[in-house]
Amino acid sequence: MPRTPSFLTHPHQAFTAGFYRNDDFDFQVRLALGAAAFGATDAGEVLSTIAPVRDNDHDAWFEAWIELGTRVRSLADASAEKGHDVSAAQAYLRAATYFAIAVDSVAGLDSDDQLLPTFRLHRSAWDRFVDTTSHSVERIEIPYEDGPMPGYVFRPSGDGARRPTFVMVNGSDGALTSLWSSGAAGALARGYNVVMFDGPGQQSMLFERSIGFRPDWEAVVTPVVDVLVARPDVDTDKLALYGISQGGFWVPRALAFEHRFAAAVLDPGVVDVATSWTGHFPKNMIRMLDDGDRKTFDRDMALGMKVSKETAREWNFRARPYCTDGYFDTVMEVRKYNLDGLLGKIDTPLFVANPEDEQFWPGQSKQLADAVSADAHVSDFTAAEGANYHCQPMARTLTDQRMFDWLDDTLAER
């Protein structure tokens, strides 16, 4: 077969050597390939799309995912027009995933003008998946102080039976499609209802309505529970809460106040969100934060952003959902996202994923599990299993097996 020279000495070692030198590109490829296990991507589509895109070519990276999403969306539309709903649903889901990658890719462009149009392409494809999937799905509105949060209730069937229900809390930048391959599909296959929603600072709430993050996620989760306990198809004794990525902070924060969940999964556990921001700051910058020296901190940060375009891009992407102005004020806002004084209040049994090579919050899964008063099962995921890195991007079936076996056993005791 034809061969193309690779920067790898041995291309089969891409798992360990990396698909790209750019960490963000590499991690996104791993996420995309892992999603193939649940039909949210096709491995060949992913690999053929990235093949011509060079490291750090942000424009080409964005355009590649837009082109792939557009092509797969056209395949979905063609199948839907002919009444082939299974084929249509599969393609709509893949298109939604590819557009979601493009949404995140806007962070690397010189302008964010493409952010809202690209998000709307993603959400349109997702909603067409909802319309054509064989699962029973209901769109819901969850009461919230700034207007309702949009959500979806997926059911394994439309029989109306009372079922255990898996409520999913997304991370800081994840799309709904990422939840599909991070537990939703696995939960449905095991007979759970699944609830997904956009909370403050997430997806439509941020991009369409400019509603930002908040640390006190109990104000978000409790209205979700209130909606669910009123439904006849929900077994209220078997509610489970799941949090992925930064959701691994929001879920335990909510559990310190909301005690109607029978079990929860943290993927991974997060005790202090700000460490992923400040962990590489020099000591003098930390002192400026501690001393309240806004002027000097903002000056030094602005200088650093001028030196590194990549750093400036990453800052803009990560800071947007906090809806604050200025470097100092943004970091001080992020510092509010910690579980100080709250871990002892959590009495919900926990499954805590602990991946090797965790990039953002290393060590915090075990720290959290050791500190809570509830029973906490820590599940180690290793590189030898193909399950390292944040949220085990290429080992989601293994993750499903472990967390749902634990969850099934835990809920059976109710």
Give me 306's structure tokens.
């001028």
Residues in CB range of 63: below 8 A, 6 or more apart: none
CA dihedral sign of residues 49, 50, 52, 56: positive
Give residue 111's Cα distance to chain centre. 24
CA atoms within 13 A on the CB side of 285: 18
For 296-352, write each residue's pLDDT tens digit: 999 999 999 998 888 888 899 899 999 999 999 999 999 999 999 999 999 999 999
Question: pLDDT at position 7, please?
Answer: 52
For 83-127, write each residue's pLDDT tens digit: 999 999 999 999 999 999 999 999 999 899 999 999 999 999 999
For 389-405, write each residue's pLDDT tens digit: 999 999 999 999 999 99
Class level of CATH domain 18-125:
mainly alpha
Q: Where are the beta strands (DSSP E) in 258-363?
A: 263-267, 350-355
Question: pLDDT at position 82, please?
Answer: 98
Give residue 261's Cα distance to chain centre. 21
CA atoms within 13 A on the CB side of 345: 13
Q: Is the pLDDT of residue 194 over 70?
A: yes
Residue 213, SS3 per DSSP: coil
Question: pLDDT at position 2, please?
Answer: 45
Residues 243, 266 contacting (CB under 8 angstroms): yes
Give the angle 58-59-64 at the CA atoms, nearest 5°: 100
In whole numbers, what is the pLDDT of the chain averaged over residues?
95
Residue 51, SS3 per DSSP: coil
Question: pLDDT at position 3, please?
Answer: 44
Domain ranges of the chain: 18-125, 135-273+337-413, 276-335
Residue 338, SS3 per DSSP: strand
H or E element: which one contains 243? strand 234-244
Question: For 135-273+337-413, which CATH superfamily applies?
Answer: Alpha/Beta hydrolase fold, catalytic domain (3.40.50.1820)
Give me 183's structure tokens.
């537990």
The Cα-based distances of 183 to 81, 99, 137, 285, 395 in angstroms read: 30, 20, 16, 39, 12
Burial status of residue 98 (CB atoms within 10 A of its CB: 0-12, 13-18, 19 or more): buried
Residues 131, 138 contacting (CB under 8 angstroms): no
Q: How confident is the model at residue 1 (pLDDT cuts 50, 70, 90)?
A: very low
Residues 99, 32 contacting (CB under 8 angstroms): no
Give me 212's structure tokens.
């930002």
Residue 377, SS3 per DSSP: strand
Residues in CB range of 303: below 8 A, 6 or more apart: none
Question: pLDDT at position 6, please?
Answer: 52
Q: How confident is the model at residue 146 (pLDDT cuts 50, 70, 90)?
A: confident
